[in-house]
Chain A
Amino acid sequence: MLPQMGAAAESLSKASSLVMRIGTDAHLYDDPDDVSIKPLLESRYDSEKVDALKRLLALIAQGADVSHFFPQVVKNVASHSLEVKKLVYLYLLHYAEKRQNEALLSINCFQKDLSDTNPLVRAWALRAMTGIRLHVVSPLILAAITKCARDPSPYVRKCAAYALPKLYNLHQEEISSLEQLVDVLLRDNSPAVVGSASVAFNAICPNNYPLISKHFKRLCEALPDVEEWSQIILIEILLRYTVARHGLVRESVLFSDVTHDSTFSSVMSRCYVEGHELWSGDGRGFEEVEMGTCKNEDVDLLLKCTAPLLWSQNSAVVLAAAGVHWIVGPAEEVKKIVKPILFLLRSSSVAKYVVLCNILAFAKAAPLLFDSFYEEFFISSSDSYQIKTIKLEILSTIATESSVPFIFGEFQDYIRDPDRRFVADTVAVIGFIAKQLAVLAGTCLEGLLKLVLSEPLVSGSYQIEEEDGVLVQAIISIKSILKQDPSSHEKVIVRLVRNLDRIKNSASRALIIWIFGEYSSMGDVIPKIAPTVLKYLAWSFHSDEVEAKLQILNTCAKVTAKTKGNNEDSTLFKKILNYILQLATFDQNYDVRDRARFIRNLMGNKTKNNLDIYRDLIESMFCTKPASSPYPSANIRVYLPGSLSQVVLHAAPGYTPLPKPGSAVIENPTGLNNSSDVDESEGSSPQYSTEDNRSGYDTGTEETSENGDYEETPLVNISEANVDQGQTSQNDMSNFVSTDLSEMMSRTALESWLDETPSFSNGSFGQSHSQNVSTSNARVSFNDRNFKLKPRKSHVLLEPANSDGLRISYSFSTEVSSVSPLLVCVDLLFENFAKETLRNINIRFEEASGNSISGPTDPVLEDSASMVSPDKIPTFPMEEIPLLSPNETVKRILQVRFQHHLLPLKLHILWNGKMHLGKLWPDIAYFLRPLSLDMNSFVEKEKQLPGMFECSRRCIFSDHLQELEQNEKISVNADKSLVVAHCFAVKILSSSNFYLVSMDMPVSLKPDDMSGLCLRFAGEVVNSSKPCLITVIAHGNLTEPLDVTVKLNSEDTVFGLNLLNRLVAIVQ
């Protein structure tokens, strides 16, 4: 209000605040603990209860855990005082999830409150009930919402609508009944309720277009009256529906000629529809996509209803409405959005940032829309650096020949800004604009040159780095302008070179030297000054820094190579080059020395005939650029206007692009047939699924709706699905309209408790257990098991050196022996390195201590394998290789029975009648058969193997670092944690014979945090057929080596321990 009033009020309120302070809650906030809270809670007086509850809230606010008061607080939920009730609800919401059992006590009270006469009490009860998030009571909540959705008070109905997403979040079943509720609420008379219903729609079934199609017209008309926050959502829903139903609009700005840069706008439209990840970057147009026109009734209506919203006070609404016009509006009318969006720049500075981000995207696609408003993007001194850079980028995109003089006039001032970082950006933008508008190149160059030469180069003062940044940026800009048309700017180069001595910054020197070298043979003046310049460079070489030295070497080589003929210049150049090379050879820096040697070899030994080749070589070699301008970013990233993704320029979780144009086919747009809607929805109930049979046999059955609110009777299909229809519909009905809550609770509650059990008794392994519970919502499991395994490690059985050139290598195979489950398969690879053919190659097992191969077994094995007599399973001899010609390789599979999982097996290798001894070392990781288990049975089995059957070890895993590095090069967008998990699984699977049961990835708060990555493997020990379970849990940050805990559960403990050691070795 008016200032003098305000000032007076301020001084008075200051005076009075001392007095007032006694009446405030501040003392409660500051020392909430100074009295005992418990007796207060049990007091008979509401005022004392209120006091106690306020203290509890203060403690909650300060981060203390006061959940132990839960029982006392819950009792007060029955209070009649609204204030107490409200405070109790606030407390309950905070702790209900922690104290589930006690929270159940409050449910009764909520139920009672739901039928209170005061709508406020009803609404609060519903909100608190849905807010406490108890899985057990979700059926009750559904019933409560169903009831409240038909409440006479719009406030309660609104609460019911907002309760739907909460329930959905808690319990993602029974979607069809939730959808029906959304339908009921969308039909509401009160715009506020419709708005809330659209929020629920968006959360529950955002792709249920048939549902929108029923209400489209009404929704559009209600749009201006809906609450502003819901308007944003409703606009988005309507836009998505329109695009899905009618396709993109051909007349829209995305496809029209208004756009300056047609490739950008086509990329933009593709990005809108397909999302960034899917867009493969090829230049395909939108031929295959169905396109509508704005003549369409729906599109027209949507545009008409969103147009007034451009004057809304809520910037988000304006942006959303502008987005609709941008995407489906005809190009001629898109101008409408420009002024309203620009006006948004007048709001708070944070909003400014967001709006500018969106304008930038618009401006890139259609610069002509904004070109006359360039003044809006002039920088004011209060702008933050981020805002300044965005404004500069916008200016650079919308600059036209008519506006550029004014823009450059502004830039004159920016260049004197104290923030040198910003100056450097300005200089970069000048270069960019000059490149786009060739007419201006001359003036720009002049200005930049002046800047370069006028900079206080001698200053050794503060900000020196930023100052240098400006200088370097200026020269880069000059360079990029020169590149367009070097011959006409000869003088610029000359002037730059002449000032070389004044410029001390090595990066700038390197750049200028490069420019000189690049254009040294061009024009009239430069070749004339070349000898002098080279002499200067030779003189300054020793005092230059590495960067400049390298460029001097390059430039000299370039100039020398480019001089044709054998005049005195060329001899001079050669002399200088030799001199510099001489200097460089003894430089302290490796790179300089290397470069010198390289050039010397290249230039030095040229004979007459290969002269040209060398020249070409040199020329093509020295075309490397010393630095490239970071501006403008080449990759285009566009997201839907108004989204977070557009601001941060990558797809935020939950970002969904527009639906595929024309993807929604709505059979019966009038929407009288309920069954078609359910068909589209995800959780369609079975009785609706056979839609083809609908035609002749439809029978209308009345749904026994409580209030009889349905104007239409849903058509239920009676055909083959007759039998199960009875059951399901009954089931459905009872969930939907059941009034007998207690009965329902007992049944469903029991079920959900039963469901719950495994996850709680989950594991004896403390860590995995807590991880499961605490991050149960944020965990991703993978069923994708298509791993590209690395080749298995092969060992050498026989070296060619001491065996006439025969080489035998072996690797353990993951195959299960066809003969006996006790055998392990080994792949043998025979290679002949000799010049002669080898004959009769065979392998026999040594009969240790006179027994058969399958003779005495070690004690561990003996008792485990006692049921199957070892003698009955002979080791299968290998098939003999009659001939192995030179350089031939032959593969054989050997089925071996290892007697011990650590001791080697001795073999006789026979060839050409000779015999050689060999040892086959076992790999314990392959003494397993994959055991295919699902998650639940894994957990079950794990539970049976506690205590002494369990062992674990920790180790470090660092393989993924390399993998990540490689991945970085290939794709930027790959999910790093996925890569790590993958890398992990591959590592273990490619050197052992396990079955990957599950791979759980944490969805963590920090992207690099891998804590909680959990892989489970299962196998069966070959000898004993006992299950062996592996759980691998990783901790730490993915950019660093991970701390890994490997846990093994197996009855065969000795084997288990050895296996564990082996696994740790594999992992490390």
Chain B
Amino acid sequence: MPVAASAIYFLNLRGDVLINRLYRDDVGGNMVDAFRMHIMQTKEMGTCPVRQIGGCSFFYMRISNVYFVIVVSSNANVACAFKFVVEAVALFKSYFGGAFDEDAIRNNFVLIYELLDEIMDFGYPQNLSPEILKLYITQEGVRSPFSSKQPLERAVPNATLQVTGAVGWRREGLVYKKNEVFLDIVESVNLLMSSKGSVLRCDVTGKILMKCFLSGMPDLKLGLNDKIGLEKESEMKSRPIKSGKTIELDDVTFHQCVNLTRFNTEKTVSFVPPDGEFELMKYRITEGVNLPFRVLPTIKELGRTRMEVNVKVKSVFGAKIFALGVVVKVPVPKQTAKTSFQVTSGKAKYNASIDSIVWKIRKFPGQTEATMSAEVELISTMVEKKSATRPPIQMEFQVPMFTASGLRVRFLKVWEKSGYNTVEWVRYITRAGSYEIRC
């Protein structure tokens, strides 16, 4: 039996129940007390997401200042439960227009009750696609004014349902005046570099986000510059591969709408998209990663109470593009007393709560470099703790119009019976995942 959740609770950080919904009567109402007693009030909180207390298992996840707790009384599919939590939170966010926190829950509690009634029946997860759910839900979420653009005729719940079996994620009869598709390729670079500058580990996880405002039942086909897809294509059209960079996608997963059988045989990504925003695919690349930044740290300890930190950051992407929101966090010892900085660009300050120097650069052009040198004074303590345990330097950044993997969208074809024209927008962005440099 996969998830047959017996109850769902939303708790705030103090352990007050915000929302509870019992699906089965095999767990008592006091289970939430058990959760509070045995999980929230112990040190174990946040370490292991699956806990058993008594005959019941708790799967929990913290999202901003809310705990989402699923109580299960029997053997359940844990992976399924967590996937459900993630999806449900995404759904709530799409309804609330962004944040999922205590306030949002208070503002929308009736909606949440209604949603919980729809997305889980007797403990079994149901369709969580926001577009389809809008057909069932009578309550309206309190959304930010930046909600996505609405189709011309708003779905009226009273309308006869047109959820056909063929495409469970899209309803029929959508009409848009202007047919548009937005594609966002979002990549995050994970890097672990040794202090000597050699790459220990490096990969890119990317996802393709899509926003569709298309009428009718369109059939889409996406072409990327990935190696397998290109080879297959050239094989089928019996013509040699065009020159140009190809990349090898190591792993991919697709949204439910993608025809997997077709991908299996023809290696093409074809699908009927859901209306609105969704994540089309995720992928990972381990080879041929273009690192956007190089970091060269030098840390010198001058005696017992002083140290000198020098960090040089080099941008190695094209000169025409900029990185935004670059943050370099250089960890310093706990007993830091005083710091002084010199930076070539941006601002640096010492943040005592995370024990590091935070150096922020708002805009970082390509093919340039910036340095920061800091002097750190330490409180001399009785106990000399060896500096052997120094955490790595972390870095955050966003580089628009750059993909660390080199992935490019070659084409996006849209077919629909009525044969309308579509406008396609493609954007690329690369972010730092866990970008760490040991020092």
Q: B-contacting residues of A (Cβ < 8 Å)? A: 1-4, 9-10, 12-13, 16-17, 20-21, 23-26, 28-30, 54, 57-58, 61-63, 82-83, 86-87, 89-90, 93-94, 97, 118-120, 127, 131, 133, 153-155, 159, 162, 165-166, 169, 189-193, 199, 202-203, 224-225, 227-229, 232-233, 236, 307-309, 311-316, 318-320, 339-340, 342-344, 346-351, 353-355, 375, 378, 380-382, 384-386, 410, 413, 416-418, 456, 459-462, 642-645, 647-648, 651-656, 777-778, 1003-1009
Contacts and interface: CB of A to CB of B under 8 A. Distances in A.
Given A25-B107, A381-B434, A416-B390, 13 more contacts: A3-B325, A61-B18, A119-B161, A153-B161, A153-B163, A154-B163, A229-B84, A229-B126, A313-B253, A316-B79, A344-B79, A644-B77, A655-B75
Range of interface residues on B (Cβ < 8 Å): 35 or more
Contacts of A378: 192, 200-201
Interface in B102-122: 103, 106-111, 113-114, 117, 121-122
Interface in B300-332: 324-325
Residue among B258, B384, B388 having the largest count of chain A Cβ atoms under 10 Å: B388
Most buried by A among B72, B146, B200, B279: B146
A640 to B, nearest CB: 9
A656 B55 CA distance: 16
A653 B55 contact: yes
Contacts of B284: 343, 346
Given A10-B98, A86-B138, A1005-B27, A229 B125 contact: yes
Interface stretch (B45-53, B220-228, B236-244, B409-417): B45-53
B165 A154 contact: yes
30 contacts: A1-B209, A13-B98, A16-B145, A24-B142, A25-B142, A26-B107, A28-B109, A29-B109, A61-B20, A62-B17, A90-B114, A119-B161, A154-B164, A202-B1, A307-B264, A308-B261, A311-B258, A316-B77, A354-B78, A380-B436, A384-B47, A413-B438, A642-B80, A643-B75, A643-B76, A643-B78, A644-B78, A648-B50, A651-B75, A655-B75
Interface stretch (B28-36, B288-296, B342-350, B366-374): B28-36
A82 B138 contact: yes
B245 to A, nearest CB: 23
A348 B126 CA distance: 21
A346 B205 contact: yes
List the 5 closest pairs (A to B, CB-CB), nearest first: A190-B165, A654-B74, A308-B260, A316-B80, A1006-B54
Given A190-B165, A229-B125, A642 B79 contact: yes
B173 interface: no
Nearest to B117: A90
A73 to B, nearest CB: 14
B408 interface: no
Given A13-B98, A58-B109, A413-B438, A354 B264 contact: no
B260 A309 contact: yes
Given A308-B264, A418-B391, A384 B78 contact: no
Contacts of B184: 1-2
B365 interface: no
Contacts of B392: 381
A162 B124 contact: yes
Given A97-B25, A311-B252, A461-B383, A120 B76 contact: no
Contacts of B49: 349-350, 353-354
Contacts of B398: 3
B136 interface: yes
Given A90-B117, A232-B2, A320 B77 contact: yes
Contacts of B57: 644, 648, 652
Contact of A119 (B17, B55, B160, B434): B160
Contacts of A83: 138-139
A1005 B264 contact: no
Contacts of B40: none
Given A3-B398, A382-B434, A386-B48, A1004 B54 contact: yes
Given A2-B429, A644-B57, A312 B253 contact: yes
B19 interface: yes
B420 interface: no
B175 interface: no
Interface string B71-99: 01111111110111110000000000110
Contacts of A82: 138, 157-158
B77 A311 contact: no
B422 interface: no
A295 B117 CA distance: 45
Nearest to A339: B251
Contact of A1005 (B54, B109, B166): B54
B122 A165 contact: yes
B50 A353 contact: yes
B144 A653 contact: no
Given A4-B324, A232-B77, A316-B83, A191 B165 contact: yes
B216 interface: no
Interface of B: 1-4, 17-20, 22, 24-28, 30-31, 34, 46-50, 52-57, 59, 61, 72-80, 82-86, 97-98, 103, 106-111, 113-114, 117, 121-122, 124-127, 135-136, 138-139, 142, 144-146, 157-158, 160-161, 163-166, 168, 184, 190, 192, 200-201, 205, 209, 250-256, 258-261, 263-264, 279, 281-282, 284, 324-325, 382-386, 388-392, 398, 400, 427, 429, 434, 436, 438
A715 B122 CA distance: 35
A61 B34 contact: no
Contacts of B139: 83
A973 B205 CA distance: 43
Contacts of B22: 94
A155 B163 contact: yes
Contacts of B190: 380
B319 to A, nearest CB: 21
Nearest to B79: A316
Contact of B256 (A193, A313, A651): A313
B7 to A, nearest CB: 12
Contacts of B31: 1005
A192 B165 contact: yes
A120 B4 CA distance: 24
A685 to B, nearest CB: 27
Contact of B74 (A29, A320, A653): A653
A227 B169 CA distance: 10
B47 A653 contact: no
Given A30-B106, A1006-B34, A61 B61 contact: no
Contacts of A653: 55, 73-75
A203 B2 CA distance: 10
A13 B192 contact: no
Given A120-B157, A313-B254, A459-B383, A232 B209 contact: no
A612 to B, nearest CB: 52
Contacts of A233: 1-2
A229 B124 contact: yes
B97 A13 contact: yes
A199 B209 CA distance: 31
- Interface core residue of B2, B103, B279, B436 (most chain A CB under 10 Å): B2
A309 B253 CA distance: 9
B434 to A, nearest CB: 6
Contacts of B61: 348, 350
A199 B126 CA distance: 11
Contacts of B72: 644
A343 to B, nearest CB: 4
A343 B282 CA distance: 10
Contacts of A1: 184, 209
A416 B165 contact: no
Nearest to B28: A1005
A831 B273 CA distance: 94
B394 to A, nearest CB: 8
Nearest to B436: A381
Contacts of B109: 25, 28-29, 57-58, 61
